[in-house]
Structure 1
């Protein structure tokens, strides 16, 4: 661990997308809560690149952000692949200097452009305890890991995963670190407040539709197209269309009808989850983890491009009976009318789905991962005791 009397140096590498940044910040928050119980405290530093969302999100949460050169890893063999070794060598050299300056005792990586240079830099430096290399902890969010974490897992002291069965060496199922506003959410207790906040009725079955921060065209079309059938069945809808999708509109419902509320973006996902009985959404790793942690069942519509990771993310929840899965090409207004309207109008079926979703959730994943990180850094014994 750190030099006598000094803080434990924890470096978190997780820039690029929200899927990497959100669990990184949730872990940072969990570590910060532990700092007073660790001799010397904990110094937390996040690594990112100048072009990622972390340049806005990390400082906004009050954490120190240091920038390193990005090293994009092409998914397919291209001419750009030939440039990777040179970029990687430079990024590793620069990152190693940062780890030295920060006195890093452990490096925690979440995958992506930032993680690979951090993993290699940690392995190549000498820690303050004169051991060779700084220990690495890998956290993989998706059921199908990316290249950076596949490499990192080979040199890591511990490997934590969100989805059971993720194919990484020595993987431990820990879950997805989540914001406490989500992980501690009591949906029934907040339901009335949440529905009032969105202009929804207090007692109607409620469908939440969202496609990530930018919205999803197929979800928007299908949901808006079945608005009349939903309303006729007494189902109200909270629909986040995405800030650029202003063409997605639904006529105002008549007085006494179930509301259909369309918003550009949901600033308070905790309230959106509390308001809803069922979600229609994509199956990104953070989304799936949040929904199961709060016990909100969902109809998952995996993104139809990429390597199929979203479908794999959703399967543990679906297989446990906490949701259903529909392929993007099969989603339509008719599918919603046939499958979701009957479910939303049957309270006992909804309750069963919610219970099964909650059984899969891991609301304390941030604390579990913090235990691992401090143990690897030498600042805590097994079980997380400082």
Structure 2
């Protein structure tokens, strides 16, 4: 009996922060898994970072400038976040932004045509907006889906001609309906994370592999993929606290922060593990009892999947602030606005293990470790079967 060729799924993201890319990579990873019938991969998937197909100036604006802005001028970023959310679609600011995007992304459309996908999933609003216009102008004839990657909805994600939307929570879905998206186009799946987070790594094995004591309380401090924040200063303050705990700090791609943390680790032998960018985040999380992190949608979804209580540290105004609000309301996180409040909250949770356990149980209940698989399944179910 002939087998049908795998459906072709294109996933588009933007490397403005690591979260959009990681969501796309998670969907791509699940596409490579064998289906339930054992006939081969669920789909042929390709992930494209839109920033690989724009001019250097446009890439610098969308990626380097974004990182500098949220790290050095978070209040300005917060203003821009709210201003663009509130601006009418036909405002001069929005028209200028769309014109710049059109001029700088023509190469991307050629790549899409060459791959000839059966469906497209966008994990950032930029490619979704470009494809909305292509669909309107009949330059594209495959369905386009949108995966929102935060526990909030910014209006730049709300576009015409989309096949459907994937939301992190019921509240985000409600906000989508409030913005005029039809009920039947909205699916509450959670935020896509890698398959490794659905396999619950064993703490004992992971701790031993990293030279950690699996019996000691362990705190994981994260600065995101770019290693934002004064991680060495925060770590130094935590290590002065009383209590028998060990500290893991992830510096991401921030080489300067990693160098400072490595020097600090030498002053506290056996208490501080400094790590740069790693593909084994889930194994390090498996060693931890508490995570201190910026409240990005992807990182916090990973924590929820593994049942990790959080202290969200200095959320930037905008999407991180909204993410933090959700986590606090759900009882899975506390918020620290400065070093003193962070140290107080760490000390409080270490002294009240019953609260830490309650937060852990609530996080496990909220986690959606197979969100990416749910997204992929929904997309594939609506694509007509290709002929063998």
Identify the match of residue 196 of structure 2 among 181, 206, 229. 181
Q: Which of 313, 324, 328 is matched with 1:314 structurally? A: 324
TM-score normalized with structure 1 length = 0.76
Distance 1:88 1:205, change over 3 A: closer
Q: Tell me the residue number matched to 2:11.
A: 12
8 Å CA contact 2:11–2:120 kept in 1: the answer is: yes
2:260 aligned counterpart, secondary structure: coil
User: In structure 2, what is the Cα distance between the partners aligned to 1:95 and 1:263?
Assistant: 35
Q: Quick one: structure 1 residues 100 and 341, their matched pair in 2 at CA, closer, same or farther if it must change by over 3 Å?
A: same
Match of 2:66 in 1: none
Is 1:141 equivalent to 2:149 in the alignment?
A: yes
Unaligned runs of 5+ in 2: 63-79, 85-90
Alpha-carbon distance in 2 for matches of 1:36, 1:254? 49
- Higher mean displacement: 5-14 or 38-47: 38-47
8 Å Cα contact 2:9/2:118 also seen in 1: yes
| Preserved contact between residue 176 and residue 289 of structure 1 (Cα < 8 Å) | yes
Q: 1:161 aligns with which of 158, 167, 176?
A: 167
Does residue 238 of structure 2 align to residue 238 of structure 1? no
Residue matched to 2:30:
30
* Secondary structure at the counterpart of residue 129 of structure 2: helix
Give 1:361 shift: 0.7
Alignment size in residue pairs: 342
Question: Using the alignment, how far apart are the partners of 1:94 and 1:36 within structure 2?
Answer: 37
Give 3-state SS (helix, strand or coil) of 2:308's partner.
coil
Q: Is the 8 A contact 1:96 1:121 kept in 2?
A: no
3-state SS of the aligned residue for 2:20? helix
For residues 210 and 147 of structure 1, the distance between their equivalents in structure 2, rounded to whole angstroms, comes to 29
The yes-or-no answer on 1:280 pairing with 2:286 is no
Shift of 1:146: 4.5
Report the aligned-residue RMSD.
Answer: 3.4
Indicate the residue corresponding to 2:129 in structure 1: 116
> Mean alpha-carbon deviation: is it higher for 266-275 or for 112-121?
112-121
Gapped runs of 5+ residues in structure 1? 56-66, 128-132, 381-386
Pair 1:276–1:80, CA change in 2 (3 A): same
Could you tell me whether the CA contact under 8 Å between 1:13 and 1:107 is conserved in 2? yes
Distance 2:308 2:42 in 1: 37
Q: In structure 2, do the counterparts of structure 1 residues 143 and 321 end up closer, same or farther at CA, with 3 Å as the change threshold?
A: closer
Quote the Cα distance in structure 1 between the aligned partners of 2:158 and 2:152.
Answer: 10
Shift of 1:36: 8.4
Tell me the distance in 1 between the aligned counterparts of 2:48 and 2:23.
Answer: 14
Which residue number corresponds to residue 371 of structure 1?
Answer: 377
Q: What is the CA–CA distance in structure 2 between the aligned matches of 1:183 and 1:22, rounded to whole Å? A: 15
2:216 maps to 1:204: yes
